[in-house]
Amino acid sequence: MTRGKFVVLEGGEGAGKSVQMGRIREILPHGVFTRDPGGVETGEDIRRMVLSKEARGIDAATEILLFLAARAQLIAELIAPALESGKLVVCDRFILSTIAYQAYGRKKLEYLPLVKSVFEAIHHGCVPDLTIFLEVSPEVGLARARARLEAPNRFDEEEVAFHERVREGYKKHLNDYGKSAVVNADNDIEQVWQDVREALQSAL
Ligand code: TYD
pLDDT computed for residue 13 by the predictor? 87
What distance in Å separates the CA atoms of residue 123 and residue 199, rounded to the nearest whole number?
A: 24
Residue 117 lies in a domain: yes
- Count of CA atoms in the C-beta half-sphere (13 A) of 123: 15
Q: Is 6 helix (H, G, I), strand (E, B) or coil?
A: strand
What distance in Å separates the CA atoms of residue 172 and residue 133, rounded to the nearest whole number?
A: 12
Residue 116 lies in a domain: yes
pLDDT computed for residue 90 by the predictor? 98
The whole-number average pLDDT for the span 148-171 is 88
Residue 25 lies in a domain: yes
Q: Which of 127, 94, 95, 92 is nearest to 20 (CA)?
A: 92
Ligand 1 binding pocket (C-beta < 6 A) is 13, 17, 36-37, 51, 67, 92-93, 97-98, 101-102, 153, 155
Of 35 and 153, more confident? 35
Residue 39 lies in a domain: yes
Q: Which of 119, 75, 125, 120 is nearest to 97 (CA)?
A: 119
Q: Which amino acid, one-letter code, is at 169?
A: G
Structural domain that includes position 133: 6-203
Q: What percentage of the chain reaches a pLDDT higher than 70? A: 100
Q: Considering the chain, what is the average pLDDT of its residues? A: 95
Residue 72 lies in a domain: yes
What distance in Å separates the CA atoms of residue 93 and residue 51, rounded to the nearest whole number?
A: 14
CB-count exposure of residue 103 (10 Å: 0-12, 13-18, 19+) = buried
SS3 track for 32-65: EEEECCCCCHHHHHHHHHHHCHHHCCCCHHHHHH
Residue 1 lies in a domain: no
Please report, in range form, the residues annotated as the binding site for ATP: 11-18
Residue 88 lies in a domain: yes
CATH code of 93's domain: 3.40.50.300
Measured in angstroms, how far is the CA atom of residue 177 from the centroid of ligand 1? 18
Residue with the smallest CA separation from ligand 1 atom 14 is 155
Q: What total of structural domains would you count in the chain? A: 1
Whole-model pTM?
0.96
